Amino acid sequence: MQDVCYLERPEQAAALLKPGRIDIVRLLAEPRSCTDVATQLGQAPQKVYYHVKQMQQAGLVDQVDQRRIRGITEGIYQAAASSYWLSPDLVGVLGPRRARDELSLGYLLSLAEELQSDLAMLARKTGDRPSLGLSGEVRLQPDEREQFLADLRGALQDVLTRYGSGDGDPFRIAFACYPREEDPS
């Protein structure tokens, strides 16, 4: 099972997003027959089988085994991935984003879409992919945003200068700051 199934074709998205199919694919996180899934959902096995076959054709579900029950061969299916991501390119940007400077939400949205696409491409490759992750929280007053960005740019430029040339595996750095809602508890 893959970590991520990145849906880039409209027919893949349509296969997953039909009513009831997400419930089916969730149950297929573990290998099951259509009869087992139908019992869990209170549906007819034929209906579940139809949906599973449609998702299998779209590459969202795999047949991982089969068994014989009372002279009938029954397929055992499993979700192709532990998570499914919809590519932003399925709809695409329908018009220009309002602002494209580094202090705008439009810039951050474009960066997030690029990051999602890059991660999906890495997830398709076999083997463990070395990566780094960093997360933290800062508290900024509205008038501190520009100075914070300048300070961050300076610190990051120092790191990029030190590690940005020479030999080694290339890594992309994407840094995002966005408002976060406080947890009310």
- Indicate the domain borders of the chain: 2-85, 93-163
Q: What is the C-alpha to C-alpha distance for residues 63 and 57, in angstroms, rounded to an integer?
A: 11
Give the pLDDT of residue 175.
76
Evaluate whether 1 touches 80 at the Cβ level (below 8 Å).
yes
3-class SS at 2? strand
Give the pLDDT of residue 10.
92
Domain 2-85 coded CATH 1.10.10.10: yes
Tokens in use for 38?
């139908």
Give the pLDDT of residue 95.
65
What is the share, in percent, of the chain residues with pLDDT greater than 70? 89
More confident residue, 93 or 36: 36
Q: What is the C-alpha to C-alpha distance for residues 62 and 133, in angstroms, rounded to an integer?
A: 31
Confidence class of residue 97 from pLDDT cuts 50, 70 and 90? low
pLDDT tens, residue by residue, 12-69: 999 999 999 999 999 999 999 999 999 999 999 999 999 999 999 999 999 999 998 8
Confidence class of residue 90 from pLDDT cuts 50, 70 and 90? confident
More confident residue, 34 or 122: 34
The percent of the chain in helix, strand and coil, each rounded to the nearest 5, is 45, 15, 40
Give the pLDDT of residue 96.
64
Confidence class of residue 176 from pLDDT cuts 50, 70 and 90? confident
To the nearest whole number, what is the mean pLDDT of the chain?
Answer: 86
Give the pLDDT of residue 161.
86
